[in-house]
Structure 1
């Protein structure tokens, strides 16, 4: 897995869109897409809270942490130390930055808590992004990306239906997680190249 473009471009693009969206939805008001999504989920799924809770299960720490740790261990076994660092550092940076910087900065409230970007989404998508980046090109990468997209759709429905988040919170969380993981990989590979010994001419 190379640390060169387009990871840097992807990170910048996602970050810019996330910021613009955050500015548009900051505060307590809801947007047109958010209202539409709430009405659609209510009509399609009704009050089936058991199903909705099942849909948000992939965002739980007891699901994501073992996956991230297993991925890191497999990277270490395969001698991919830099990728192992990404597996832990990427999601951790995304979660901490979202909780302590972005949520207070955008100041978007849902009931009594800050909602934008969605922390549930940041955690899930950060881990999924790492897995997609680590996977070898081909069937494995396509399968992981597809399963991840399906899981994210389910999580989005679940969080909207349970009243945890607005649709735009999920979109913002997705964008920020992808941006952070890609930026982290670019920085890790840059630092690794800086530390690499320079071949001697003598």
Structure 2
């Protein structure tokens, strides 16, 4: 399992870099970015405001606290550490390393990879890795991410490519950390 997670982390990191290099130093959207923005434009400000809520710190920080607290209660210390470290490491690296490195701007703000997306995806990735059933959690996470993406694009926060880059990077950090996190292996049954 650790090798699979490490491979996912490497592929997602490479995808983040590849996409970032395509748009590095840019100020304008690509054709896909423009098409998607045009496609969601008619939904309305209130809809966008609601859709973007899952990316806000006042939603994500309590979610991190609940996951961390639940893991601590169950004495799953490596899982509790992942719930805190995944988002913290990803947001820190994204803000202070990747955004300045790729230098993609929108309305005077660095936008690639999307910090809103990195924040949301890291929390969702932690949930997928820790929760059961994983498939249901993953499907709900993807739906939530798609809704948030529509909101971010509609409000003009990000281009679609910023969101895709943020998704890759958030996934890379959490799966990478999980691949090196020690986990308790259940003892074989004695009976």
TM-score computed with the length of structure 2 as normaliser: 0.92
CA distance in 1, matches of 2:164, 2:98: 14
Write the mapping of 1:59-98 to structure 2, written as runs, cut at 5 A: 59-98=55-94
| Higher alpha-carbon Rg | 1
- 1:20 lines up with 2:13 in the alignment: no
TM-score computed with the length of structure 1 as normaliser: 0.87
CA distance in 2, matches of 1:30, 1:56: 20
Give 2:29's aligned residue.
30
* Cα-to-partner distance string for 1:39-59 (whole Å, 9 max, x where unaligned): 11114x2xx101100000000
> Which of residues 98, 105, 110 in structure 2 aligns to 1:102?
98
> Which of residues 149, 161, 170 in structure 2 aligns to 1:168?
161
CA distance in 2, matches of 1:65, 1:56: 15
Deviation at 1:78, TM superposition (A): 1.3
CA distance in 1, matches of 2:82, 2:178: 6
Deviation at 1:184, TM superposition (A): 1.1
> Which of residues 48, 53, 56 in structure 2 aligns to 1:57?
53
Give 1:10's aligned residue.
8
CA distance in 1, matches of 2:18, 2:28: 16
CA distance in 2, matches of 1:5, 1:134: 17
CA distance in 2, matches of 1:38, 1:73: 38
**Contact 2:28 / 2:106 at 8 angstroms: preserved in 1?**
no
SS of aligned partner of 2:181 = helix
> Which of residues 98, 115, 118 in structure 1 aligns to 2:111?
115
Q: How many residues are matched?
A: 183
Deviates more, 1:60-69 or 1:8-17: 60-69
Gaps of 5+ in 1: 194-202
Give 1:183's aligned residue.
176
